[in-house]
């Protein structure tokens, strides 16, 4: 059971908690593809091949393991490798990635996200914990957060307890004083509990809980989460 009296701070996942991620990624990939068609057409053709894309991803995973927590670097270097293999200028990779990255930040917040952030930020210090590469300032919600912890900058990702402990440290509270909210049962909820935090699982899509250990709370949207903290 959730112990509201213990909560001194809240940590939040981003992708699929505050906005749906796959429509965002699909749109960003289309913008990138259109840019490549204009500026590197052979690479655009290569990116249209599922087999070629799969091979590039496998190459990056096996040959650049140091990048595994940095989705931006993986994307940029995958583009660079595709440019090289297509016989086009690998120096275009930085510009191509920025085209993708700018569109990736144009998220469509869930309808309940901004009101929830306003409610939560007025009552608790907030910190984001993300394995992704969203930029709070570019997304337009940095004002609500005291800190942001990303796997890319920290060097390890969820569910490693260290990234949760870093988030607690950024707000100068102990892990047991933090309530973490996220959509992923394993990376977010179980990871937070293993780090000594309370965990609330946001289950927008009626998934089954896959673990023996239960989260402290389960909600279907952010309105329910805020109501839970109000005690209503």
Domain boundary among the residues 104, 133, 167 is at: 104
3-state secondary structure labels for all residues of 17-36: CCECHHHHHHHHHHHHHHHH
Predicted local confidence at residue 98, as pLDDT: 97
In DSSP notation, 159-190 reads: TSHHHHHHHHHHTT--GGGEEEEES-IIIIII
Predicted local confidence at residue 232, as pLDDT: 55
Q: Are residues 118 and 212 in the same domain?
A: yes
Domain boundary among the residues 104, 131, 154 is at: 104
Range of the domain at 70: 22-104
Q: Are residues 197 and 154 in the same domain?
A: yes
Residue with tokens 């490549």: 36
- Looking at the structure of the chain, the number of domains it has is 2
Q: CATH code at 183?
A: 3.40.50.1000
Can you tell me the distance from the alpha carbon of 215 to that of 201, in angstroms, rounded to the nearest whole number? 7
Predicted local confidence at residue 53, as pLDDT: 84
For 173-225, the pLDDT digits (tens) are 999 999 999 999 999 999 999 999 999 999 999 999 999 999 999 999 999 99
Q: Decide: 181 and 13 in contact? Cβ < 8 Å.
A: yes
Q: Are residues 65 and 151 in the same domain?
A: no
Q: Are residues 78 and 126 in the same domain?
A: no
For 34-51, the pLDDT digits (tens) are 999 999 999 999 988 888
Sheet of 198-202: strand order equals: 147-150, 126-130, 9-12, 178-182, 198-202, 217-219
For 66-102, the pLDDT digits (tens) are 888 888 999 999 999 999 999 999 999 999 999 999 9
Q: Are residues 118 and 172 in the same domain?
A: yes
Q: Are residues 98 and 116 in the same domain?
A: no
Q: Are residues 15 and 128 in the same domain?
A: yes
Widest CA span in the chain: 62
Q: Are residues 138 and 57 in the same domain?
A: no
Q: Are residues 136 and 212 in the same domain?
A: yes
Beta strand 178-182 with 147-150: parallel, antiparallel or unpaired?
Answer: unpaired
Q: Decide: 180 and 174 in contact? Cβ < 8 Å.
A: no
DSSP-based three-state secondary structure for 118: helix
């Amino acid at each position: 059971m959730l112990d509201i009296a213990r909560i001194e701070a809240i940590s939040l996942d981003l992708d699929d908690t505050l906005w749906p991620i796959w429509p965002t990624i699909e749109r960003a990939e289309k913008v990138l593809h259109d840019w490549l068609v204009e500026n590197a057409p052979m690479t655009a053709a290569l990116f249209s091949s599922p087999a070629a894309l799969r091979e590039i991803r496998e190459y990056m995973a096996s040959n650049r393991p140091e990048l595994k927590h940095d989705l931006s670097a993986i994307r940029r270097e995958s583009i660079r490798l595709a440019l090289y293999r297509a016989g086009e200028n690998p120096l275009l990779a930085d510009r191509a990635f920025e085209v993708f990255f700018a569109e990736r930040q144009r998220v469509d917040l869930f309808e309940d996200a901004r009101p929830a952030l306003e409610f939560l930020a007025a009552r608790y210090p907030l910190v984001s914990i993300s394995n992704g590469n969203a930029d709070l300032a570019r997304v337009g919600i940095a004002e609500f957060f005291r800190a942001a912890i990303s796997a890319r900058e920290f060097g390890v990702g969820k569910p490693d307890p260290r990234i949760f402990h870093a988030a607690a440290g950024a707000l100068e509270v102990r892990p047991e004083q933090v309530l973490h909210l996220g959509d992923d049962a394993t990376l977010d909820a179980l990871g937070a509990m293993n780090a000594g935090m309370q965990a609330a699982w946001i289950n927008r899509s009626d998934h089954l809980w896959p673990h023996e250990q239960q989260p402290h709370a389960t909600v279907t949207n952010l309105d329910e989460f805020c109501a839970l903290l109000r005690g209503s």
